[in-house]
Structure 1
Amino acid sequence: MSRAGLEKTPHEVASMFDGVAARYDLTNTVLAMRQDVRWRKLVAEALDLSPGQKVLDLAAGTGTSSEPFADAGVHTVPCDFSLGMLKVGNQRRPDLPFVAGDATRLPFADASFDAVTISFGLRNVVDVDAALKEMHRVTKPGGKLVVCEFSHPTWTPWRVVYTEYLMRALPSVARVVSSNPDAYVYLAESIRAWPDQRGLAARLRVAGWDDVAHRNLSGGIVALHRGYRR
């Protein structure tokens, strides 16, 4: 199984996620100490969608991130470029319309969705700015974007502890529960190299999103970023 590099070559990233698909959800829950359940709930609350509205869930993987929307009656389209993830997702939730797609070249018409969301996947995209523009393109005027992504803890002592966990404990735990522990070395490195809250907010604005704001979760380990399409 492969480990992608921080240059995020698309075929390497896709291959890496294909290799972890079978135990991806279990590994995430263990590594996040079940905080991932709370984070998914907060994403759904931030989107605040009504039954019948349509949401695009990018980097949806096996569909776990899509379930809170779909189970609430929102028309949910899970999209991912890892075929291995989509295969596992189709087995888990055959009722969801999984779509294979690249976030930088989305296979959807302009203004197709009431909202777009991506959780813990934006930092794995080879061209983040192109992806943010594509998300803007497929969102209806008045629609919303919610990005849930790892970020930078705001309290310095906590940031030091968290960085040590990322680079030492996370790969060690992954060796026990993951089908591809080396992939989690890349994931730890990608989290550490990711822009902070202000840096990502600036990129959303450049991509055309308005009323950009963010909310720190778990002391800034994760941040919810929000934007609207005028």
Structure 2
Amino acid sequence: MTRATLDKQPHEVASMFDDVAANYDLTNDVLSLGQDRRWRRQVAKAVDARPGQRVLDLAAGTGTSSLPFVEDGAYVVPCDFSLGMLREGKRRHPWLPLTAGDATRLPFRDGAFDAVTISFGLRNVQDTDAALSELYRVTKPGGRVVICEFSHATWAPFRTVYEEYLMRALPPVARAVSSNPDAYVYLAESIQSWPGQPELAALLQRAGWTKVAWRNLTGGIVALHRGTKPLDA
């Protein structure tokens, strides 16, 4: 799959991530010029996991994104639909409870988690509304959601430069560091196809989340969305 459409076939997307699992974290670090580490620190700060809390880290890939929650003393469940990613994660972090799961049909009971989070994975889900509803379902009343996702730069000149980088510079860089550079062409196109910050906030509200807000990171090329499940839900 080399074209990004919003009609994504789950088996195709999963297969794509299976192919890049071994070098995925390194490739992201190179392509983002190291910014991905800063973004993940901001996610951990927003989730604000506490000792004893249960955190769902959806689209966790190899589990790297879950480690900050473990350091905060929470019980974290890394979940992903790419078995290749999970196998690589189990090789690196055999003690993590890595779990296979589809974002639109999560294998967890209602209200199982104090906090749920997904970083750079929501745009790869076939049905965004279903995923947001599932995250809502498995969160305790009063619990929180944090979504970190590529978005749209807020300053027009920077947006032009960034989009040029995505479509012109990213493919050759991906060819140099990735085992499947076509996957990164798809990922670049999926970023351009993804809704902007206000549109994603509206989708969160439609799924039932309240106190929805977002904060732009790196000029808006990434946005950190937050929401709360009502206590009376």
TM-score, normalising length from structure 2? 0.97
Q: Quick check: 1:100 aligned with 2:100?
A: yes
- Structure 1 segments of 4+ aligned residues over 6 angstroms from their partners: none
Residue of structure 2 equivalent to 1:136? 136
Cα distance change of structure 1 residues 88 and 15 upon mapping to structure 2, 3 Å threshold:
same
Residue of structure 2 equivalent to 1:71? 71
Residue of structure 2 equivalent to 1:200? 200
Q: State the AA in 1 paired with 2:34.
A: R
Q: State the AA in 1 paired with 2:35.
A: Q
Task: Please report how far the alpha carbon of residue 3 of structure 1 lies from its aligned counterpart in structure 2 after TM superposition.
Answer: 4.4
Residue of structure 1 equivalent to 2:116? 116
Q: Percentage identity across aligned positions?
A: 70
Between 44-53 and 144-153, report the one with greater CA deviation.
44-53
Written as runs of structure 1 = structure 2, the 5 A alignment for 1:173-184 is: 173-184=173-184
Give the whole-Å Cα distance in 2 for the aligned partners of 1:181 and 1:138. Answer: 35
Residue of structure 1 equivalent to 2:221? 221
Task: Please report how far the alpha carbon of residue 171 of structure 1 lies from its aligned counterpart in structure 2 after TM superposition.
Answer: 1.1
Instruction: Write out per-residue CA displacement over residues 67-88 of structure 1, whole angstroms, 9 at most, x where no aligned residue.
Output: 1111221100000000000000
Residue of structure 2 equivalent to 1:125? 125
How many residues were matched structurally? 229
Unaligned runs of at least 5 residues, structure 1: none
Give the whole-Å Cα distance in 2 for the aligned partners of 1:62 and 1:171. Answer: 23
Give the whole-Å Cα distance in 2 for the aligned partners of 1:72 and 1:5. Answer: 36
Equivalent residues of 2:145, 2:226 under 8 A apart: yes
Residue of structure 2 equivalent to 1:147? 147
Equivalent residues of 2:54, 2:114 under 8 A apart: yes
Written as runs of structure 1 = structure 2, the 5 A alignment for 1:10-21 is: 10-21=10-21
Task: Please report how far the alpha carbon of residue 4 of structure 1 lies from its aligned counterpart in structure 2 after TM superposition.
Answer: 6.5
TM-score, normalising length from structure 1? 0.98
Give the whole-Å Cα distance in 2 for the aligned partners of 1:37 and 1:53. Answer: 23
Unaligned runs of at least 5 residues, structure 2: none
Residue of structure 2 equivalent to 1:211? 211
